[in-house]
Amino acid sequence: MRVSSNQTQQVAINSMLEQQEKLTRTQKQVATGKRIFKPSEDPIGAARVVDLKANLQVNAQFQKNIDAARARLGIEESVLSNTTETLQRIRELAVAANNASQTNETRDFISEEVEQLLEEILDMANTTDGSGEFLFAGAKVNFRPFVNNENGEYVYQGDDTQRSLQIGPKRIIETTDSGTFVFRSIKDGNTEFTSFESETNTGSGIIDPGSRTGSYDGGTYAIVFDKKESIDPLEPITYKVINSKNEEIIPAGTVYVDGADIEFNGVRVAIEGEPAAKDFFVIRPSENQDIFTTVNNFVNALRKPRGTPSQLAGLHNEINRTLLAIDNSLGRVLEVRSHIGARMQALDAQESINEDYNLQIKETLSSIEDLDYAKAVSELNLKLTGLQASQKAFTRVQNISMFDYL
């Protein structure tokens, strides 16, 4: 086989170029610290790198969600902490207003402070988060959740949705609580039933909140005081208890004892003072009442002039219900705050899990993608030597010609 001088030179040049390409690739690896530049160099490894980087991006979003959730819950906790302090102040004022030494004027002064505190609670219930979205509006984040309409009613314009964020591959956490749960769905009375007096009462009877003694059947009852048949001042006051069908649960003529328990159908209440004939008190199942209405009713009760024993008894009954409602509201706020604390702990735990997972992914990615420098430097020297040898061989043979031997 004949080999021309041109062919010999071309083979030598191609060999040098091949060595140069290998050297350049190794130099690039050493410079960047990466082993793979094209999927064709390691198809399996390249596919794994793509998957691992995608996992890192997803995990980075989880961490951003954790930061957002922590910020939102932190604002809610701050709002509810302030709400707790405000409700406690209103409770202190209710206790003070319930004192017999108060006058219509002093109660009016108290009502002014309570009214300001009510506005504070309303403002806090309409708090926005860092992005300008209403915190307690559920999913209707652009609607002011609580408004006091022209009729003096407190209307909720949000919904009952709990917004949430995904903070892990299988973990979603609620980042808000609806205004209904926090401020509206609060049972009045003792949460089982509530007791209140008739507006037509003329006696000085004051009923306590009562308690359940057994299985309360959820019925509505009235404790009705009977008309005295005698003008004898020592004639005892009597009463009866009837249900909503006007059926007697406790028969008429039962002697009333000031402060003694009255028990029936799982209900226990006590009445103090001297009820008048035809006075009555009602026991009904507890209903939801929002915090704003509770405080507003308290303001109205304080501003109503009181002078007679029956009017003062009505005030004491209203304030007693207010105290119970405020206690129930405080209980709900504290319940929500405990939920927030648990969620904050969950965020911290998931953040730690995500960080550990990130570290594992990066270690795996490094084992696939990163360069073994010791091996790479050795290959660099080897390829450099090969290139130099190829270049020297080329210089030795490039000037050889058949004519030199003729």
**Is pLDDT larger for residue 232 or for residue 311?**
311
The per-residue pLDDT for 50 is: 73
The per-residue pLDDT for 329 is: 96
Two tokens at 257? Answer: 């004892």
Confidence of residue 388 (pLDDT cuts 50, 70, 90): low
Strand ranges inside 4-72, DSSP E: none
Mean pLDDT, range 285-314, rounded to an integer = 95
**Is pLDDT larger for residue 178 or for residue 373?**
178
Q: Hey, what domains does the chain have and what are their CATH numbers?
A: 53-186+324-357 (1.20.1330.10), 193-286 (2.60.40)
The per-residue pLDDT for 27 is: 54
Share of the chain above pLDDT 90, in %: 65
At residue 58, does pLDDT exceed 70?
yes
At residue 232, does pLDDT exceed 80?
no
Query: Among 160, 74, 88, 154, which Cα is nearest to 122's?
Result: 154
The per-residue pLDDT for 130 is: 80
Confidence of residue 181 (pLDDT cuts 50, 70, 90): very high
Two tokens at 172? Answer: 């979603």
Sign of the Cα pseudo-torsion (18, 22, 28, 34, in order): positive
Cα dihedral 64, 68, 71, 73, rounded to 10, equals -130
Two tokens at 195? Answer: 């007791």
Q: How far is it, in rounded angstroms, from Cα 366 to Cα 49? A: 9
Q: How far is it, in rounded angstroms, from Cα 265 to Cα 242? A: 11
At residue 100, does pLDDT exceed 60?
yes
Mean pLDDT, range 204-218, rounded to an integer = 91
Mean pLDDT, range 334-346, rounded to an integer = 96
The per-residue pLDDT for 226 is: 87
Mean pLDDT, range 357-375, rounded to an integer = 69
pLDDT tens for each residue of 118-157: 999 999 999 998 888 999 999 999 999 999 998 888 999 9
